[in-house]
Amino acid sequence: MSSYPYNRLDKNDAAVLLVDHQSGLTNLVHDFSPDDFKNNVLALADAAKYFQLPTILTTSFENGPNGPLVPEIKEMFPDAPYIARPGNINAWDNEDFVKAVKATGKKQLIIAGIVTEVCVAFPALSAREEGFEVFVVTDASGTFNKTTRDAAWMRMQAAGCQLMTWFGLACELHRDWRNDVEGLGTLFSNHLPNYRCLFTSYNATQAAVAAATK
pLDDT in tens, 78-123: 999 999 999 999 999 999 999 999 999 999 999 999 999 999 999 9
* C-alpha dihedral sign at 31, 34, 39, 45: positive
**Cα–Cα distances in angstroms (integers) from residue 145 to residues 68, 153, 171, 183, in the given order:** 23, 12, 28, 34
* 123 and 194 fall within a common domain: no
In a domain, 30, yes or no: yes
Q: Classify the C-alpha dihedral 7-124-160-29 as positive or negative.
A: positive
Residues 81, 187, single domain; the answer is no
CATH code assigned at 146: 3.40.50.850
Query: Distance (Å, rounded) from C-alpha 154 to C-alpha 147?
Result: 11
Query: Which amino acid would we find at residue 43?
Result: A
Can 119 be counted among the known catalytic residues? yes
The helix or strand, by DSSP H or E, that contains position 56, with its residue range, turns out to be strand 55-60
Residue 118 belongs to a domain? yes
Q: Could you tell me if 123 and 161 lie in one domain?
A: yes
Residue 194 has a pLDDT of 85
Report d(CA 170, CA 9) in Å as an integer: 9
Same domain? For 105 and 152 the reply is yes
Question: 201 and 170, same structural domain?
Answer: no
What residues contact 196, with CB distance under 8 A and at least 6 apart?
189, 190
Length of the chain: 214
The whole-number mean pLDDT for each consecutive block of 10 residues of the chain, a chain of 214 residues, reads: 81 98 97 97 98 98 96 97 97 98 98 98 98 98 98 98 98 96 93 81 72 78
User: What is the CA 175 to chain-centroid distance, rounded?
Assistant: 18
The pTM of this model reads 0.93
Examine the domain organization and report whether 156 and 196 are in the same domain.
Answer: no
Contact 15, 97 (CB under 8 A): no
Q: Which neighbouring-strand residues pair with 114?
A: 142
pLDDT tens sequence across 33-47: 999 999 999 999 999
- Tell me which residue range forms the domain holding 97: 14-174
Q: For residue 165, tell me if it sits in a domain.
A: yes
Residue 6 counted as domain residue: no
Residue 2: its pLDDT value, please?
A: 62
Asked whether residue 1 is assigned to any structural domain, the reply reads no
Say yes or no: 132 and 206 in one domain: no
| Pair 158, 207 in one domain | no
- The predicted structure's pLDDT at residue 204: 67
Q: Are residues 203 and 107 in the same domain?
A: no
Q: Are residues 31 and 113 in the same domain?
A: yes
Number of domains in the chain: 2
- Phi first, then psi: give them for residue 139, nearest 5 degrees: -90, 0
104 & 193 share domain: no
Q: Give the phi and the psi of residue 202 in degrees, each rounded to 5.
A: -60, -45
